[in-house]
Structure 1
Amino acid sequence: MTTTQTRRPGLPHQRRGALRRMLPVDEYAGLARVIVERSARLYLRAWAVLISGVVEPLFYLLAVTVGFRSLVPTVTLADGSTVPYVDFVAPALLAASAMNGAISETLSIYFKLRYDKLYEAMLTTPVGPLDIVLGEVGWAVLRGGFYGTVFLGVLAALGLVTTPWAVVLVPVGLLVSFAFAAVGMAWATTLRSNAQLDYVTLASTAMFLFSTTFFPLSSYPAAVQWLVQLSPLYHGVELARMFFLGTPAPAALLHTAYLVVLALGGLTLARVRLRSMFLG
């Protein structure tokens, strides 16, 4: 979809920061915060939708603590140590909660693009494509991070948090949200029909079930393990798990780098897609 927009001039050069000077005037005006503020105001009137996203992982946690604990008391990790099954699953559910929050928010981008024509209206102002990308991704990160933080609070209330390292799960949740929000927005710009939204749901469900959320990597066939390790959620789960258990390791740098590269790649692709769709 390509449209021609008559746009107001960008901000004066002397008011433009370093990033703005590196980009075309019509691409970035430093107004991403306005997009975040708009989303926040909308959810003040739809707070139940925001809160509902916390409920699903809590049901999974309840199932694990009440039901599966008696059936699967412990899990053996890759280093040979054993941990209670609930301690194995809880940080994975936190990472999945952050993922779901970010994906839920970026799915709405499809409707803003195809039906609401919201971005066309925004681009008649000094707001540029990169402002939209940063603003939408920023709000999705806040939503996913909120889910992860609330989930961590529930874990603490249940007495499952036993190490000071667990506080790192807050930035871990934000990082997971960042990666999925950026990729989700880039993906949303490629969708052409409502039916294709099912592919997003299918992908997120598959990652939730098979990213070592409920089973250690060693339980998968060797031929499947490499595929599991390609999943962004796998890296988020492993990162969250090592800090929740208080066992940080050098592998944390690898997991972090994977998610950061994925997020930056998603931001870049989303920016290019929006620019080509609306500015030519």
Structure 2
Amino acid sequence: MSVPRPAGPSVSLVLRVVPLYPLSPRRAGSLVHRNLLVARRNWVVYVSGFSEPFFYLLSIGVGIGGLVGEVVTDGGTALSYQEFVAPALLASAAMNGAVYDAVFNLYFKLRYAKLYDAVLATPVSAADAAVGETVWALLRGAVYSAAFLLVMLALGLVGSWWAVLALPAAVLIGFAFAAVGLAASTFLRGWQDFEFVQVAVLPLFLFSTTFYPLSAYPRPLQLLVECTPLYHGIELVRGVVTGDVRWALLGSAAYLLVMGVVGLAIGARRLERLLLR
């Protein structure tokens, strides 16, 4: 009986350049389960994340909405201001939940708790850790988004059955920002660098057509906004919630998917470099 030979140098070399090699969904899932057990002990911290988008909706969407009146979207659909703002806040909730979990929590685990020093002593690889942490962060963003979607439904701000796709869209947003947040956390040198995270996230929240349509900007700024990831996330969620479904939404989904894959690949390589050097 012949004994199978190990993979030759060429096969090994090809596998080594794959960004997420070696990866096991089961091992990555064990890290997600570990985070779930920890979250059960600190549930107050996670519940607090529901409040921010809800208060924004009440204060800006409902309060100021009475003064603004109708808003015409870039697709030509006339919406009340509450209907215009609510999907954008849902997308922002997915972004914030994913980014802050991926950046703040992972940085603490990496630099202070030294969690991954113990994790990588097990069969879990750096790619497994990167995928596990990204999945956990996007799940947190998805939970926030699901709760916010229920609030929108209760307030009558869901205008189409296409809204059933709003939660998958929010998960895609969470994936993109969680992956990029994970990669960014590996470049942070200290707690003072978290200011750069806020400098990146806050302008995205304020200017990615969250509170007014793209047509409010001069054309050069429109081109800049169209390049930002939250703009594509808001377009995707707003389109399905209001029923303004266009082929361009597939482009927005592809943008977020590519962003997530690239961020995850960079994050996995950076984790491996930091932990196994």
Alignment TM-score, normalising by the size of structure 1: 0.89
Partner SS for 1:209? helix
- Out of 83, 98, 101, which is 2:97 matched to? 101
In 2, distance between residues paired with 1:54 and 1:62?
13
Instruction: Tell me the equivalent position of 2:174.
Output: 177
Residue identity opposite 1:81 in structure 2: T
Q: How many percent identity over aligned positions?
A: 45
Report 1:6-45 matches (<5 A): 22=15, 27-29=22-24, 30-45=26-41
| Mean Cα deviation higher: 260-269 or 42-51 | 42-51
Query: Contact 1:27–1:127 (CA<8 Å) still a contact in 2?
Result: no
Instruction: Tell me the equivalent position of 1:197.
Output: 194
CA-CA distance at 1:61 after TM superposition: 0.6
In 1, distance between residues paired with 2:268 and 2:61?
43
Report 1:73-88 matches (<5 A): 73-88=69-84
Instruction: Tell me the equivalent position of 1:48.
Output: 44
- Which residues of structure 1 form unaligned runs of 5+? 1-12, 14-20
Instruction: Tell me the equivalent position of 1:259.
Output: 256
Instruction: Tell me the equivalent position of 1:134.
Output: 131
Query: Contact 1:27–1:275 (CA<8 Å) still a contact in 2?
Result: no
Instruction: Tell me the equivalent position of 1:125.
Output: 122
- Out of 236, 252, 263, which is 1:239 matched to? 236
In 2, distance between residues paired with 1:149 and 1:79?
25
CA-CA distance at 1:254 after TM superposition: 0.5
Instruction: Tell me the equivalent position of 2:9.
Output: none
In 2, distance between residues paired with 1:271 and 1:70?
47
CA-CA distance at 1:126 after TM superposition: 0.8
Query: Contact 2:75–2:244 (CA<8 Å) still a contact in 1?
Result: no
Report 1:146-157 matches (<5 A): 146-157=143-154
Partner SS for 1:94? helix
CA-CA distance at 1:48 after TM superposition: 1.1
In 1, distance between residues paired with 2:74 and 2:267?
37
CA deviations 1:201-250 (Å, max 9, x no partner) are 12111100010000111111212112111211100000000111111100
**1:250 and 2:247 aligned:** yes
Instruction: Tell me the equivalent position of 2:87.
Output: 91
CA-CA distance at 1:121 after TM superposition: 1.2
**1:62 and 2:55 aligned:** no
Partner SS for 2:159? coil
In 2, distance between residues paired with 1:102 and 1:79?
28
Partner SS for 1:116? coil
In 2, distance between residues paired with 1:243 and 1:97?
17
Query: Contact 1:182–1:266 (CA<8 Å) still a contact in 2?
Result: yes
Instruction: Tell me the equivalent position of 2:220.
Output: 223
Residue identity opposite 1:168 in structure 2: L
Query: Contact 2:175–2:260 (CA<8 Å) still a contact in 1?
Result: yes
User: What's the RMSD between the two structures over aligned residues?
Assistant: 1.8
- Out of 150, 157, 161, which is 1:160 matched to? 157
In 1, distance between residues paired with 2:61 and 2:96?
21
In 2, distance between residues paired with 1:66 and 1:76?
17
In 2, distance between residues paired with 1:80 and 1:164?
19
In 1, distance between residues paired with 2:76 and 2:164?
25
CA-CA distance at 1:22 after TM superposition: 4.8
CA-CA distance at 1:178 after TM superposition: 0.2
Partner SS for 1:75? strand
Residue identity opposite 1:160 in structure 2: L
In 1, distance between residues paired with 2:217 and 2:227?
14
Residue identity opposite 1:122 in structure 2: V
Alignment TM-score, normalising by the size of structure 2: 0.90
| Mean Cα deviation higher: 155-164 or 180-189 | 155-164
